[in-house]
Structure 1
Amino acid sequence: MQEIVKYKLYCKGQEFDMVANALISKHPCLKEKGSLTGCAGWKASLANKLATYRTHLRKLGCTEVTVNSLKNKPEGKSTPAAAIMKPWRSEVKYCPPYPIGESETSLEKLREELLSDVKRKNNREVVKMKMEKTFAYRRQEVVSKSPMVDIFRARWPAFFDESEINAEFKRITTMPLQSRFLSQLDLHTFRLLKLFEKRGGVVGKRLVTIREAIDQSDDTEFGRESVIRGLCIYLNEDPERLVKEYVTADEDIIQEGFEDITVGIFTVKPSNSGEVEDIGIVLEGHAVLRDLPSVPFATAMLFGLIYNLNLDYPAELSYTFEVVQKIIMELEGSTLSKKAQAVKLKLSVRGFFFS
């Protein structure tokens, strides 16, 4: 059990199946007679042992487990058991304990120091070190209290920086964010475009327009952005929900438009024929990042912020983010919705040639 919990405290049935099958494959003498799978008993035993092990960890005060206890639900909320927070997106460090020798008081002091540190020039290394040290404190705040974004931003201004979003995502998942997202998107682009070609109907016509625009451009970032928009369309979701375009120089109009955006990206052009002047990210009606280099980069940062702030995917883009998470980023890809599963099958080598 100690080896299992290094990777996951809460396993699914398919994962127990994999472990039990691996056990009887390596040791055929352990295969159960009279069982259809030959390992049903081993699977049940593993599940029971892991549950017992979590109980011991809860008694010892392991935050990764105690956060899911009904006794620790937020004050004033009658949270049902089904809504208790658990890692569900392959977070390796979902709610880690404080570093040895640190307490809530000492870490709060570091947080207060960061408020002034972030304003100083040439102070990146100090900020980076203190953000690393306060990770568990910040993560417990995010998971347990679910603060509003504007309140959290006032408490942790250093958090809303591109390099820190990358670093925080890696602390949570042990996986790089920006480089992996862009490289995996490029890897899947050819097959996604072929997938778009085969789609018929009204959706297919919209995807043809996107494919033609890509063929006429040599701009890598434009191609990536078009593929992201095409993915939304292919999944019957509106790309305007992901990327909101403003053709105006009036900041008041832009700010007013942010009020209707819960999670999304925005671009600003001074006129229909002008170049994009600003690209940013909006969370809960507030622009938390601006002056980003491209929409694909902003998409990676938005995905990272959703993980880092433990946010739910917006309902109108749930399939798009599911495909990004489970197929492009390959995080928790064993359980997919029917729509995402169809995309994964068609993008696989076998599905690509036989579809």
Structure 2
Amino acid sequence: MAAGSPQEMILRVVEPDQARKLQLSSRPGSIDALIKIIKELEIDLDFDLLFEDPDFDGKRNFLQDIEELPQKSVLHISISQHSSSVASTVGFSDASYPERHSSWPSGSFPVPTFGYNVELRLRDGNAEYEKNNTHLKLTRDQRHDILENIASTLYGFKAYPSDKDITTAAQSLVAKHPCLKEAGSETGYNGWKNSTLRQTIFDEVKKTQINLLFIKKMMEGTFLLRRQTIVISTPSVNELVDLWPALKIVSELYAEFYWIINVHLPNKCYGHHDSHIPRLLTLFRQKVSRTGKIANALAAIFKSHDEQVKRDNFGNTIFVRRIPVFLNLR
């Protein structure tokens, strides 16, 4: 189909940490067909599509019919979630990630034996719960010992435990030690599940080779839990990063920023950067008119840049970013 025909489409595909331009020679036959095309951009996730609806001043609506999509549109990717709990996470199929040598148990999850002092506390706590229905209060270290051992046992079965696996482990924990049930909790184990999820992310971040896709899915699924922590506990930035060390990963920081205020941080920064380019170019060209080593280097860069602009219609942004590198200014 010829360029500029009525069916040609230009789309801006917005992800949590970046946005990309997608040109299509024709309108896809269905939403599923469009999703398949977008997945070719190396988006290995299940997602729904929202579009900025011109009938509602650009407000986002879920795309229900491919014919609703204007020829020039902005699409937003909404990662599909498979759990309604506060700390739900995208499930992983058993075939998605490498397994450990031990196969997943056919019955209930085998709750490990904890440290000596913790086991004593649990024994006494279970007895007290049996008599008076009293919930056990643990110290931070005791709770950490339980979480580390649960996570270690999970990893003994699977390198990347799923949401279902972690739920099963939390259920088994409170079934074996009923004193650990949470007062006021509908399930009695949801807090342990959330803590195990966080421990799982924490352990993955510490690895030499990090599985970024696994972390991305886990962080997406636990966003509401982090928001709840911030609202209720108001931790400092350092405390929050200690709880969620994946926020030190640049892509996760960008994604978190987007989920909070719906702004793409790198695009915003580059946009402000680009607004200064005309003035920077003027200053650099003034420098070229002088003599010396720096002026000669700038002249060579400008010559290369001008030729490239004529040939490829490149913008100025990349050019300006390269200048400090050539001049050893950073």
Does the pair score TM above 0.5? no
User: Which structure's CA Rg is the greater one?
Assistant: 2
When you count helix as a share of all residues, which structure comes out higher?
A: 1
TM-score (norm 1): 0.27
When normalised by structure 2's length, the TM-score is 0.29
